[in-house]
Amino acid sequence: MKKIALLCLVLVVGLLVGCACPCAATKVAAPAKVLRHVVMFQFTADTTPEQLKDIEAAFRALPTKIPGITGFEWGTNISPENKNNGLTHCFFLTFRSQADRDAYLPHPAHKAFGAMLKGHVEKVCVLDYWAQP
């Protein structure tokens, strides 16, 4: 009985030391490579706040309509540096592969969103890149 209690104590201490020692930590795998698709807009001066809300909502809805979009964020410029060249809105999409991004571009929901922008976009900038860890 004493041997079993001693063995249990040694196991518990070993587990506690193993959990606390960073050298015993399991190596975490690097995240998979992902493709980022960044879209920035400057809207025309006559685009109303209501129209902007509709455009924002339409872009936010794309991940629910287009398979392959694995991440989505958006926001409006708040930088104090004044280097945005008039661009005010940024939409940031993530894809696992170039094929997923390539399927997104001609997708009917994306085309419908593009049609919605007609007459409202002064300037647009699109940048795609493979995220580096």
Q: What span, in angstroms and rounded, lies between the C-alpha atoms of 2 and 99?
A: 63
76 lies in a domain? Answer: yes
15 lies in a domain? Answer: no
The pLDDT value given to residue 133: 85
CATH code: domain of residue 87:
3.30.70.100
Give me the residue label for tokens 């992902």: 34
Q: pTM to 2 decimals?
A: 0.75
pLDDT digits (tens, 9 = 90+) for 102-127: 999 999 999 999 999 999 999 999 99
CB 39 within 8 A of CB 121: no
Alpha-carbon distances of 101 from 37, 68, 69, 93, 98, rounded to whole Å: 8, 7, 8, 9, 5
The tokens for 76 are 């409006």
Give me the residue label for tokens 């629910």: 64
DSSP tag of 23: G
* pLDDT < 70 positions in the chain: 1-31
- Based on the structure, what is the number of domains in the chain? 1
Helix axes 49-65, 108-117, angle to 10 degrees: 170
The pLDDT value given to residue 26: 57
69 lies in a domain? Answer: yes
47 lies in a domain? Answer: yes
The pLDDT value given to residue 18: 47
68 lies in a domain? Answer: yes
Give me the residue label for tokens 């399927």: 103
